[in-house]
Structure 1
Amino acid sequence: MSEQTPPEHDDIPEQAVDAQPQAMDIPEFADDSVDFQTARIAELEGQLKDLQLRTQAEVQNIQRRSERDVTAAHKFALEKFAGSLLDVADNLERALQATPSEESALKALHEGVTLTHKLFVDTMKRFGVEAVDPLGEPFNPELHQAVSTQPSTTAEPNSVTAVFQKGYTLSGRLLRPAMVVVASAG
C-alpha cells in the first residue's frame, strides 16, 4: 500500500496559513443581563402555561356545549313527528265525546276508541309528550292561547274556564299551546 503524503501548502495563500481564527463578535452578558434573560424566560413560561390552561378550558367548554347540543338534538328529534300526531289524539278524543257509551254496538266502538286513545297517550308520554289541560288553572301565556274571555262570577279572574283544544309539550318544550277561554272579572 502506498502512503499518502500530506498536501503541500503551496496552493494555499500565505495569509490564510498564518491567520488565526478570528473571534466572533458575541457581546458579553453581564450578570444582570443573565438575570433579565432568566426572568424573561420565566415570564414567557408563565404565559405559555396560562395559554395552555385557557386552551384546555376552552376545549372543555366546547366539549360540554357539544354534548349539550347533541343531548338536545336527541331529546327534540321527534318534535315535528310528535306535533303531527297531535291531530290524531284530538280526533280520537272527539270520537270518544261523540259516541254514547250505552248502546251495545256503539259501546264496543267507544271501548275500542277508548283503548286506542289510552295506548296512544301512553306511547306519547313514554317519548316525553305530555298534555297541557289547564281547566281551572291560572292563565299562563307561555302554555295557553286565549281564544276569548268570558265574564264569570264563579271563577277567579284570569283563570281558564274552558279548554277548546289541549296543548302539548315535548320534554318540557311547548309543541302546541292549549286553546282556552279565560275568565274576566264579572
Structure 2
Amino acid sequence: MAISFVIDPSIAPCFSFSSPRTIPLRNLHFHGRPISPLISKPNLRFPIFSAHQTNSEEANSKQQADVNTLIRSYKQALFNGDETSVAQIETMFCKIEKEKNKMDQKVLSLSMKIASEKETKIRLQADFDNTRKKLGKDRLSTESNAKVQIMKSLLPIIDSFERAKLQVRVDTEKEKKIDTSYQGIYRQFVEVLRHLRLSAIATVGKPFDPLLHEAISREESEVVKAGIITEELKRGFVLGDRVLRPAKVKVSLGPVKKKTPSPAEEITPSS
C-alpha cells in the first residue's frame, strides 16, 4: 500500500520547499529492519536542547543525543505517515535552525569583539613600550644635562687650581709641605673628574678645530706651519663627547711671505 502525506506550507521554507508536496513513502526502507513506532500520541513532545545549557562536554553530548532522537522520531513519523507528528517535528527543526542561526550570529559577534579587543591590547602594548622608551631617553637626557651643568660649575675651580699651581713658590720646608698637600688634593680632584669622563682638550701642536678650539689670535711663525696651535691661553674641556668649554688658543699663520717688489719699485730715480 502506498503511503503519502502533505507537508504543511508554513513549515516548508525550513526544508527549501516552495509549495506543498506529497512525498510517497512506497520505497522507503531501513535496510529491511522493522522499526517500532516512536510516536504514539499526536501531541508528543520531543526533547530539544535548551539555550540555558552551558558549553561543557556533557551539555554538548546531551544536545547531540536530543537531535539524534528527534531525527529518528522524524523518520519513524514519515514511515508511519503520521502527518501531525511530522509537522510538529518539522516545527522543532525550524526552531533548531533559528536557534543555530542565533548562536552563529552570537559566535560571530563574540569573535569580532575578541579580535577588536586583541587589536586594542596590541596597540596599547605598543603605546606602553614607546612611552617607556621615551621616558628612558628623557631620563638619560635629564641626567646628562644635570651632569653637564655640574661640571661646568666646577671648571672655575679647576682654573683656580691651575693658577695657584703656577704662582706657588717653594722656598722653605713648610712651603714644601703645603705644596705637597695641595698637589695631593688636586690629584684626587683630577682623578674624580677623569672618572666622570671629564678631560682636557689637546691644544699646542694640534691642528686648529673650530669645534674644539677658539682662536683668540693668530701669529706668523717661521717654524710652525699655518693652522697649527702655538699656544694655549685657556684650557678647554670635554665631557665624554660633549664640549663643555672650547680651548682658547693662538694659531700659527705660517712663515711670512716676503712681498716681491714690482718693476716700478726696482727703478730708482737718477740724481
Report the AA paired with residue 83 of structure 1. K
Residue 123 (structure 1) aligns with:
192
Q: How far apart are 1:64 and its partner, in Å?
A: 2.3
Q: How far apart are 1:69 and its partner, in Å?
A: 2.0
Q: Equivalents in 1 of 2:215, 2:184: separation in Å?
A: 31
Residue 88 (structure 1) aligns with:
157
Q: Equivalents in 2 of 1:93, 1:128: separation in Å?
A: 19
Unpaired segments ≥5 residues, structure 1: 1-37
User: Could you give the per-residue CA deviations for residues 18-74 of structure 1, whole angstroms, max 9, x where no partner exists?
Assistant: xxxxxxxxxxxxxxxxxxxx9xxx9xx7x9988876765555344323212211222
Higher relative contact order (CA 8 A, sep 6+): 1
Residue 24 (structure 1) aligns with:
none
Unpaired segments ≥5 residues, structure 2: 1-107, 256-271
Larger radius of gyration: 2
Q: Select the residue among 147, 165, 182 that pairs with 2:251.
A: 182
- Please tell me whether the aligned partners of residues 223 and 254 of structure 2 are also in contact (alpha carbons under 8 angstroms): no
The worse-fitting range, judged by mean Cα deviation, of 53-62 and 96-105 is 53-62
SS at match of 2:205: coil
Q: Equivalents in 2 of 1:89, 1:123: separation in Å?
A: 12
Residue 153 (structure 1) aligns with:
222
TM alignment of 1:153-172, pairs within 5 A: 153-172=222-241
Q: Equivalents in 1 of 2:131, 2:221: separation in Å?
A: 54
Aligned residue pair count: 152
1:133 aligns with 2:202: yes
RMSD: 3.4
Q: More strand by proportion, 1 or 2?
A: 1
User: Could you give the per-residue CA deviations for residues 106-132 of structure 1, whole angstroms, max 9, x where no partner exists?
Assistant: 322322221121111111122232222
TM-score between the two structures when normalised by the length of structure 2:
0.46
SS at match of 1:179: strand
Report the AA paired with residue 109 of structure 1. I
SS at match of 1:60: helix
